[in-house]
Amino acid sequence: MTTETALEVPAVFDAVMFLQRMMATLPLHAFRSAAGEAERVDGDLQMLLNEAPNPEWTSANWRRYMWHGVFTGGRGVSWIERDGVRPVAIWPMDPAATTVVRRNGRKYYRFGGNEYPAADVIDVTFGLRTDQLSAYGPIHMGRKAIGLAIAMNNFAAGFFAGGGIPPMALEGPLPQGPDAFRRATEQIQRAIELARKAGRAFFGMPPGHSLKAVGIDPAKGQMTEARLFQIQEIARLYGLPPVFLQDLSKGTFANTEQQDLQLVKHLVVHWAVIFEQELNLKLFGQRRRSREVKHNLDGLQRGDFKSRIEALARAIQTSQITPNEARGLENRPPLPHGDELYIQGATVPLGTTASAPIGHNGGPPLDQEEAPDANDPKA
């Protein structure tokens, strides 16, 4: 099973393309910790990660190439070019042409006639084998399930290419001798093709002869159900909810939204953390804890407009975010006085009472003033 062959299966191609596009287009930012607070920074590193890792590649294309290797052969690798200790470029490497070796307890990567230490190579694997050098690839590990999908595709293509007519067996008194038998079968085949081209519903058969189908009827073999199951098998191979492979056979409005949450919580976050930690280690070293890179997953976690606005309003009213921070999440410009935290006035510590509001003339509010006396002439 090769990568090119496996990608001819629509479900495999869809899974690989979907995952690599999603992971490649997540915003990736650099942060510096100062006084215990992480501050987003700009500059060369931010440009390498989120814009262009080198003069030839955009960040999205570089990461797509990396993730394509992970979700096909099981490994994505890139070399970090440095000026001293400062990263100045990141170059993708072909994982199929990269050899990983261990010498004197250290790991090295050989590619294009060069050898790079592990500290200068970004290496993301689908799953690491026990030798700590080679990786599990999803296509190799799922080769039998993918092979079954290919076999069903080929059978369906051959079946419908023959006009939906399964292989037939001719029964009855047959001519003796190989040449006579060959001529008889050719005549029957020619009669079938002429009937198909002419659009006739039947054709004549010699007396005492009949044609019977050979093999399994696709309907009786549950071909449609089996092909649908293979999509679910391939989704299981990548940990994807089936709805993202266009399998809505069991999808509803409710559970499709839940599968969307499942995608972020149980798949995207895992790969994002793996990539972030690999970048942090290789870009900054083992002990440089003041700097880090991190994905922004807010875009994937956005709900529908009504739910999103209600959540932002609640966060503002409970002093969790400022109005300008909420506007930033919606890509809206900041406004004056929008950087202050607000909280509802009725929210007070337990066991205390809220301050009495002031009325229109400095006294108690109207709803707390005494009712006028009906016998008072001034009333």
pLDDT one-digit tens code per residue, 155-194: 767 666 655 555 666 666 666 777 877 777 787 777 777 7
Do both 151 and 199 map to the same domain? no
Domain annotation covers residue 320 = yes
pLDDT tens string 193-247: 777 777 666 666 666 667 666 555 556 555 677 788 888 899 999 999 888 888 8
Tell whether 196 and 331 lie within a shared domain.
no
Judgement on whether residues 319 and 179 belong to the same structural domain of the protein: no
Residues 133-166 as b or e (16 or more Cβ within 10 Å = b): eebebbbbebbebbebbbebeebeeebeeeeeee
Q: Average pLDDT in the 277-302 region?
A: 83
The pLDDT of residue 69 is above 80: yes
Position 230 scores a pLDDT of 86
Reported pTM = 0.71
> 34 or 105, which is more confident?
105
Domain boundary among 179, 198, 214: 214
Looking at the structure, tell me whether residues 134 and 79 fall in a common domain.
Answer: yes
Q: Are residues 70 and 106 in the same domain?
A: yes
Indicate if 137 and 266 belong to the same structural domain: yes
Range of the domain at 318: 303-347
Would the pLDDT of 103 be above 90?
yes
- Identify whether 127 is part of a domain: yes
Is residue 260 a part of any domain in this protein? yes
**Structural domains in the chain (count):** 3
Does 139 share its domain with 174?
no
Residue 33 lies in a domain: yes
Q: Is position 374 within any domain?
A: no
Strand partners, 170: 211
Do 118 and 149 belong together in one domain? yes
Same domain, yes or no, for 122 and 233? yes
173 plus 233 within the same structural domain:
no
Please indicate, yes or no, if residue 361 is contained in any of the structural domains. Answer: no
Work out the pLDDT band at 348, boundaries 50, 70, 90.
Answer: low
Q: What is the residue-averaged pLDDT of the chain?
A: 81
User: Which range scores top for mean pLDDT: 26-40, 64-78, 189-203, 243-257?
Assistant: 64-78
- 326: nearest Cα among 343, 344, 347, 308: 308
Yes or no: say if 11 and 21 are a contact pair by the CB < 8 Å rule.
Answer: no
End-of-domain residue from the set 243, 276, 301: 301
- Do 63 and 140 have their domain in common? yes
* Domain edge (last residue) among 176, 196, 214: 214
Q: Residue 74's Cα: distance from chain center in Å? A: 15
Mean predicted confidence (pLDDT) in 254-276: 84
- 142 and 246 share a domain? yes
Transcribe 170-184 into DSSP letters.
Answer: EESPPPSSHHHHHHH
What per-residue confidence (pLDDT) applies to 362?
A: 47
Quote the DSSP letter at residue 247: -
